[in-house]
Amino acid sequence: MRFRMLTWLASVGVLAIFAGVLVSLGVGALPAIKAFGIPFLYTEVWNPVTAQFGALASIYGTLVTSLIAMLIAVPIGIGIAIFLTEICPRPLRRPIGIAIELLAGIPSIIYGIWGLFVFAPWFQSGLQPWLIDLFSDVPVLQDYLGGAPYGIGVFTAALILSIMVLPFISAVTRDVFETVPPTLKEAAYALGCTTSEVVWRVTLPFARTGVVGGAMLALGRALGETMAVTFVIGNAHHIQTSLFAPGTTISATIANEFTEAVGPLYLSSLIEMGLILFFITFVVLAAAQLMLGALERRAGGVSS
């Protein structure tokens, strides 16, 4: 009975913390909500001097950098997991796996410093001009991958984010791949399947729920990342077509301007941006849970 009560209190405590954070953000954001209303979500102007604030540029930067980071990190992370479980020689699996997991333990500010002083200058002088010239005559892409080679910007922040979330995706995916029953793989090999066929027809279908869960965990990390993004995104409250142009995210805006928020409306606007980020993360993770549930039901229906 006592153990049951302790576990019940622990569960209720999590819900109480969740509700407390939500209420605190709501109370702090109330002045900005009353002053700006719904237009706060689709207004790009951010001018502390005139007390005009809008979150559109920060919301755009948050979603775009996270999306690009996931598009880069998910295929690479799954590829690393496939290599470690199916192809890599057994003596090397543990050292390589540990090396990848150590990337998750590096503080985000270290990624930011490395990105600003090492990666961004190399990207500005080497890869970025080549990409601009490569897509200069390609419709649509010339707008998204054109402009001046700043080095820092939305695309640079997305690349740094992809490196940061890569260990989460690869580690979770590798652990899920290792739960695939060996008999299933052996049966596939006995039928004459190659390694790639075993991966695509046996391993991935069996572990798809865990793969999606790992990707969503990484996406949650990418949405809320602060210091690394703040160093390399440029912190400009403008939406520009080019991904190479400077931008900002919700977390970067809060980190940069929280200490300078002298007026109550200024501070309340930053808190409202935190509330928006809270809801974005909640919606993404809730959608991930619904997706995982749908995948499990579908797998159960197929097996039956």
What's the pLDDT tens digit per position in 79-92? Answer: 999 998 888 888 88
Mean pLDDT to the nearest integer, 16-43: 91
- Using one digit for the tens of pLDDT, what is the confidence trace for 30-73? 999 999 989 999 988 898 888 899 999 999 999 999 999 999 99
Predicted confidence band of residue 221 (pLDDT cuts 50, 70, 90): confident
Statement: residue 304 has pLDDT above 60: no
User: Which residues in 41-57 are b (16+ Cβ under 10 Å) and which e?
Assistant: eebeebeeeeeebbbbb
C-alpha to C-alpha distances, 91 to 76, 81, 86, 101, 250, nearest whole angstrom: 22, 16, 13, 17, 44
Looking at the DSSP assignment, which residues form a beta bridge with residue 247? 234
Residue 204 burial by Cβ neighbours in a 10 Å radius (0-12, 13-18, 19+) = middle
pLDDT for residue 293: 77
CA angle 175, 106, 245 (to 5 degrees): 105
| Domains by residue range for the chain, with CATH | 57-303 (1.10.3720.10)
Mean pLDDT to the nearest integer, 258-272: 87
- Using one digit for the tens of pLDDT, what is the confidence trace for 229-250? 999 998 888 898 899 999 999 9
Mean pLDDT to the nearest integer, 6-31: 90
pLDDT for residue 196: 86
What CA–CA distance (Å, rounded) separates 217 from 53? 31
pLDDT for residue 299: 63
Predicted confidence band of residue 300 (pLDDT cuts 50, 70, 90): low
**Among 89, 114, 54, 81, CA closest to 250:** 54
Statement: residue 194 has pLDDT above 90: no
**Among 84, 65, 57, 70, CA closest to 288:** 70
What CA–CA distance (Å, rounded) separates 44 from 51? 13
pLDDT for residue 59: 94
Predicted confidence band of residue 285 (pLDDT cuts 50, 70, 90): confident
What CA–CA distance (Å, rounded) separates 266 from 47? 9
Q: Which helix (H) or strand (E) holds 64?
A: helix 56-82
3 state DSSP class of 121: helix
Q: Who contacts 167 (Cβ-Cβ below 8 Å, separation ≥6)?
A: 100, 101, 102, 103, 104
Statement: residue 273 has pLDDT above 90: yes
- Using one digit for the tens of pLDDT, what is the confidence trace for 133-156? 888 888 888 888 888 888 899 999
In terms of phi and psi (left: phi > 0; alpha: psi -120 to 50; beta: otherwise), the region of 89 is beta
pLDDT for residue 301: 55
pLDDT for residue 303: 46
Measure the N-to-C terminal CA separation of the chain; round to a whole number of Å: 38
Output the DSSP codes for 267-287.
HHHHHHHHHHHHHHHHHHHHH
Statement: residue 94 has pLDDT above 60: yes
Separation of CA 268 from chain center: 26
- Using one digit for the tens of pLDDT, what is the confidence trace for 153-189? 999 999 999 999 998 899 889 888 988 888 888 888 8
